[in-house]
A and B are shown apart, each in its own frame.
Chain A
Amino acid sequence: MKDTVLIISREDDLHAKVVANEIQTVLGARPIILDSAQYPNQWFLSLAAGNDVPSDFQIHLGSETVTEAQIAGVWWRRPRTHRIPRLITDQPVRSFCFREAQAAFEGWIYGLADAVINPLSAENAACRKPLQLKQAAAVGLNIPRTLITNSEADVRRFYLENRERVVFKILTSVNWQFAETRHLREEDFARLGLLVYAPVIFQEEIVDKTDIRVTVVDQQVFAVSIHPRHAGAELDWRLDVGAEIRPHVLPAAVMDKILRLQQVLGLRYSAIDLALTANGEYVFFEANTGGQFLFAEIHGGQQIASALARALVSGRPTTSGH
């Protein structure tokens, strides 16, 4: 009986806990929060394959065993790096152990295909912003003029071409500081040579905008508008932890493009950042393939955890619209 959902995250992840609660108490299924940091030295994963035997896996967690036949869905929520015991002290050997664990663990997840939110092959490509922007434009979404570069000269040219209204942001994320979207100012030009250490995304500034966060779970779309209330957070609303969150209704045409983008990227879940301009146009900024959603649920009244739980228990994309 497929009644078990694996949530790959740490045990104290609140998003994971809320969805796990929904899976258990509302849907009557069994959620297991599985911490990849504890693999390979605290729980066991065995993968079986052969021409004369069905492919199968077994997870041994203490006295409990979970088999492939029990798995309804997997949420690739916040996987952590595999921890190698300190008893292994030689760095090359530690690296070997890590790579072996990663190869087995991710290989297993890849094999679960679209039972996973998100399918790992799609996730690993779709989280790349250059690809997102290209596909967003291809499905008809407006995108800002963008330059992703490590070239100082090209940034200087881009700055002038965009009438000196340019913002920049990072391609990934960091966990030791907050790197918000910022204006490019002339006083920053002296540092442009530092681009040779890491490329950056530069974009024309979209002015007079309202930020829209669209969370997509399979075919369900949840939108909120975000209204910073404190000066300094107009460019990046994440700086204002007191921002007002309101439900938002997307035009059908925009929703269709969002769903088309989701399909093209092969995603089952994403949290998409849009801007709504003063003249009513929606502009795509980025898709966060593992984006947070509880702020939209708690403060914007969106039933996202429930949708995610249902999608995980169903184990496959739903076809009903929102």
Chain B
Amino acid sequence: MTEPTPTSAPDSSFPDAQAANTLPFALAVPSDAANVVVPHEELEDQLERETAFLKTRGVEQTPALFAGTFSQTQSTVLSNLATTDSTPVGTQTISGNPVVSDDTTADTQADSQLDQMGDSVTDTINDD
């Protein structure tokens, strides 16, 4: 009996059923992040402290929340969300609303695609 070649052998460890789902496991599992709610006044206090710190360092830029290890962009989105009495942290994750990438805001689609090719030069290396 001829052994099947690697290319012709059915591979039961890679089930076809998974083909219907286009997300890898870590991104497919729902997050509970939206359940973490931070009162608006806490965010304001924090932004105030961070603004004051930045000014002492000669930085007049609109502050972002540094707490946690959110990237600047994520923090800005979070602070922009803080328009009600409380802010569901991680809303952008749960809702699937894309956080604007640092690297693609001014790009054409072609540039964005190109950005995906850079394995070793990205905005998000260890952005935590």
A17-B59 CB under 8 A given contacts A98-B114, A239-B68: yes
Q: Which of A195, A232, A239 has the most CB of B within 10 A?
A: A239
CB within 8 Å of A: which of B18-57? 18, 21, 23-29, 31-33, 35-39, 42-43, 46, 49-50, 53-54, 57
A37-B103 CB under 8 A given contacts A84-B114, A175-B73, A188-B29: yes
Interface 1/0 per residue, B51-74 and A, CB below 8 Å: 001100111010111111111111
CB distance from A277 to the nearest CB of B (A): 21
CB distance from B10 to the nearest CB of A (A): 14
Tell whether, in the assembled complex, residue A81 and residue B114 are in contact, meaning their CB atoms are under 8 Å apart.
Answer: yes
Tell whether, in the assembled complex, residue B46 and residue A175 are in contact, meaning their CB atoms are under 8 Å apart.
Answer: no
- How far apart sit A74 and B42, CA to CA, in the bound complex (Å)? 36
B75 surroundings in chain A (CB, below 8 A): 241
The answer, yes or no, to whether B120 is at the interface (CB within 8 Å) is yes
CB distance from A260 to the nearest CB of B (A): 21
Please pick, from A84, A271, A290, the residue contacting B125 in the complex, using a CB distance under 8 A.
A290
B24 surroundings in chain A (CB, below 8 A): 194-195, 197-198, 200
A173 surroundings in chain B (CB, below 8 A): 124-128
CB within 8 Å of B: which of A48-63? none
Tell whether, in the assembled complex, residue B110 and residue A91 are in contact, meaning their CB atoms are under 8 Å apart.
Answer: yes
A182-B31 CB under 8 A given contacts A86-B108, A106-B121: yes
Please pick, from A21, A194, A238, A271, the residue contacting B23 in the complex, using a CB distance under 8 A.
A194
Tell whether, in the assembled complex, residue A198 and residue B26 are in contact, meaning their CB atoms are under 8 Å apart.
Answer: yes
Q: Which chain B residue lies CB-closest to A238?
A: B68
Tell whether, in the assembled complex, residue A80 and residue B103 are in contact, meaning their CB atoms are under 8 Å apart.
Answer: yes
B66 surroundings in chain A (CB, below 8 A): 292, 294-295, 298-299
A305 surroundings in chain B (CB, below 8 A): 57
A36 surroundings in chain B (CB, below 8 A): 121
Tell whether, in the assembled complex, residue A102 and residue B120 are in contact, meaning their CB atoms are under 8 Å apart.
Answer: yes
The answer, yes or no, to whether A255 is at the interface (CB within 8 Å) is no
A180-B90 CB under 8 A given contacts A36-B121, A84-B114, A102-B120: yes
Tell whether, in the assembled complex, residue A178 and residue B70 are in contact, meaning their CB atoms are under 8 Å apart.
Answer: yes
Tell whether, in the assembled complex, residue A243 and residue B67 are in contact, meaning their CB atoms are under 8 Å apart.
Answer: yes
- How far apart sit A245 and B14, CA to CA, in the bound complex (Å)? 45
A86-B118 CB under 8 A given contacts A230-B37, A294-B66: no
Q: Which chain B residue lies CB-closest to A180?
A: B33
CB within 8 Å of B: which of A1-32? 10, 12-14, 17-18, 21-22, 25
CB distance from B4 to the nearest CB of A (A): 20
Interface 1/0 per residue, A163-180 and B, CB below 8 Å: 000001110111111111
B118 surroundings in chain A (CB, below 8 A): 81-82, 98, 102
B99 surroundings in chain A (CB, below 8 A): 175-178
Q: Which chain B residue lies CB-closest to A95?
A: B117
Q: Which chain B residue lies CB-closest to A240?
A: B36
Tell whether, in the assembled complex, residue A175 and residue B102 are in contact, meaning their CB atoms are under 8 Å apart.
Answer: yes
Please pick, from B38, B61, B63, the residue contacting A241 in the complex, using a CB distance under 8 A.
B38
25 A–B pairs (Cβ distance < 8 Å), ordered by A: A14-B72, A78-B102, A106-B120, A124-B120, A170-B26, A175-B103, A175-B123, A175-B124, A176-B98, A178-B92, A188-B29, A192-B25, A194-B18, A194-B24, A194-B28, A195-B24, A197-B24, A232-B33, A239-B89, A241-B78, A241-B89, A271-B69, A292-B70, A292-B127, A298-B53
Beyond known contacts A98-B118, A238-B70: 17 more, CB 8 A cutoff = A80-B122, A80-B123, A175-B99, A175-B101, A177-B92, A178-B70, A180-B93, A191-B29, A198-B24, A198-B25, A232-B32, A241-B75, A241-B78, A242-B42, A242-B46, A290-B127, A292-B69
